[in-house]
Structure 1
Amino acid sequence: MTLTRPGLAAVLFDMDGTLVDSEKLWDVALKELAASYGGTLSDAARIAMVGSDATTSMRILHADLGQEWRDLDASSAWVERRMVELFRTGLVWRPGALGLLAAVRAAAIPTALVTSTARPLVDVALETLGPDNFDVVVAGNEVRSPKPDPEPYRMAARLLGVPIERCVAIEDSPAGVASALAAGAAVLGVPSEVPLDPAGGVHLLESLTGADLDLLAGLLGSVDVTR
C-alpha cells in the first residue's frame, strides 16, 4: 500500500463574503427594508441570515420585527431590486480572491460558483466576477434545498462531472461550510462577517491573500492505492 493524494478536480467558490465584499451591501438593503417596515433589524438576526437563501432571510427579518404576517416574496423582491443597484455601484473583490481565482483558471482546473443568492442578482455580480471564470453556476433559487443542505455543492460537482471528494469548497459562512462538508468536499474557510468553527477539519485563513494551488490540493485527504 502507498499513500497518495488525489488530484484537485475542481474548486467550488461561494460568492458573498468569499469572492466579493458584498455582505456590507446586504446590510444596507436589509436595514433599509426593516426601516421601511417601521422597525430596526437586530444584529443577531442579521448574523443569522449570513449564507442563507432569500426566503430564509426574509423569514428571519419578519420574525425579528414581529411581523411574521408579511409576504416573503414581496420582501425578497424589494431586497433584490435594491441589491441590483448596490451591486452595480459598490461590488469589490475580497482580498486575494481575484488572484486565487486567476491561478485556478490558469491551471485549467474546473470552477463553480455556488451561492445562496438568486440567479438574477448573480448575473449582475458576474459583471464584476466575469462569467468566463466559472464553468458552472449554481444559484440559490436553482436548488430545492439551499445551504446548509448539501444539495448546492453536490449539484455543482455533478454538473462539472467530477467527484465531490476531490473538490475544495471555499466558504465564509457557517451555513456554507456545513453545506460543503455534508456534500463531501474539502473546505477552506475564510471568515467574513461571522466567525467559523475550525472543527470538522475545516482549514481556516484570515483571507485568500497568499492562498495557492498547493494549499488547495493539500486539503484533499490521502488514499491507499495498491501498486
Structure 2
Amino acid sequence: MTQTRPGLAAVLFDMDGTLVDSERLWDVALRELAAEYGGSLSDAARVAMVGSDATTSMRILHADLGQQWRPLGPSQEWIAARMAQLFRTGLVWRPGALGLLSAVRAAGLPAALVTSTARPLVEVALETLGRENFDVVVAGDEVRSPKPDPEPYRLAASLLGVPIERCVAIEDSRAGVTSALAAGAAVLGVPSEVPLDPVEGLHLLETLTGVDLTLLGNLLSGVDAAR
C-alpha cells in the first residue's frame, strides 16, 4: 500500500473531465440543444462552459445563439434529460483516475466528489463511479455559489471535518482550479478539453496515470509534481 504523508487529510475530486471523460458527452448534448433551437454552438462558448454549473452554461448558450430571451428552465430540463441518457451508457474513466481513487480508498483516506453537475445527474454518474468511493458529495445545485466560487470546496472540507489547507483538489477546468485555490486547497490540474494556464499554487500534469498518495502529499509541502 502506498503510504500517505502525515499532512494529507483528504482528496477532493472534480468529476467531469477529471474522473470521467464526460466533457465529450456534454459537448454532444449542448450542440444538439443548439441545433434544436435553430443555431450552432460556437467553440468559444463551449470552452466558456467547461467547469460551469448548468445555469451559467445555459446563459452562455442562449447568449451565443442570440436568444437571451429564452427562459433557463426548459433548457436546463432538456439538457438534464439528455445527459442522463448519455451518462447511463457513455461514461468512461479518465486515464489513471480509477487507480488513484482506488489507492485513496485503500489507504483509508477521506475522499469527496466536488462537481458543478446537479445532483440528479451525479446520482446517475455514481452508478459508474461507485457511491462507496466518496465520503461526501457536493453537487452544483447544493451550493449557493458554484465554481469558480470557493464555496464548493470549503463545504466539502467542512463536511469531511478536515482543514481545507490539508486537502488536495484534483481539477481539469479553469473554474474548478479557481474555486479550489481560492478555498485554500493544494491543487493538481490535469486538463482534458481546455488547457490550463500556469498560476501560482497550481501543479500541472498531463494525466493521473502514475499519481500516488506520496505525490499528492508532496503538493502540501510545495514540492512541484510536474513531470
TM-score range, shorter chain: over 0.9
Equivalenced residue count is 218
**Equivalent residue, structure 1, for 2:218:** 218
- Asked whether 1:138 is paired with 2:130, we answer no
The amino acid that maps onto 1:190 is: V
Contact 2:181 2:201 (C-alpha < 8 Å) held by counterparts: no
**Equivalent residue, structure 2, for 1:168:** 168
The amino acid that maps onto 2:161 is: G
Partners of 2:100 and 2:175 lie apart in 1 by 23
CA-CA distance at 1:221 after TM superposition: 3.1
CA-CA distance at 1:90 after TM superposition: 0.5
SS at match of 1:168: strand
State the superposition RMSD in angstroms. 0.9
The amino acid that maps onto 1:94 is: R
Contact 1:119 1:141 (C-alpha < 8 Å) held by counterparts: yes
**Equivalent residue, structure 2, for 1:25:** 25
Contact 1:13 1:171 (C-alpha < 8 Å) held by counterparts: yes
Q: CA offsets per residue over residues 168-192 of structure 1, 9 Å max, x none? A: 0000000000000000000000000
Contact 1:12 1:114 (C-alpha < 8 Å) held by counterparts: yes
The amino acid that maps onto 2:190 is: V
- Asked whether 1:120 is paired with 2:120, we answer yes
CA-CA distance at 1:201 after TM superposition: 2.0
SS at match of 1:170: strand
**Equivalent residue, structure 2, for 1:225:** none
**Equivalent residue, structure 1, for 2:64:** 64
TM-score, normalised to structure 2's length?
0.95
Partners of 1:52 and 1:163 lie apart in 2 by 25
Larger Rg: 1
TM-score, normalised to structure 1's length?
0.95
The amino acid that maps onto 1:115 is: T
Q: CA offsets per residue over residues 145-180 of structure 1, 9 Å max, x none? A: 000000000000000000000000000000000000
Partners of 1:187 and 1:197 lie apart in 2 by 13
What is the percentage of aligned positions where both structures have the same residue?
83
Partners of 1:139 and 1:13 lie apart in 2 by 12
CA-CA distance at 1:6 after TM superposition: 5.3
- Which ranges of structure 1 fall in alignment gaps of 5 or more residues? 223-227
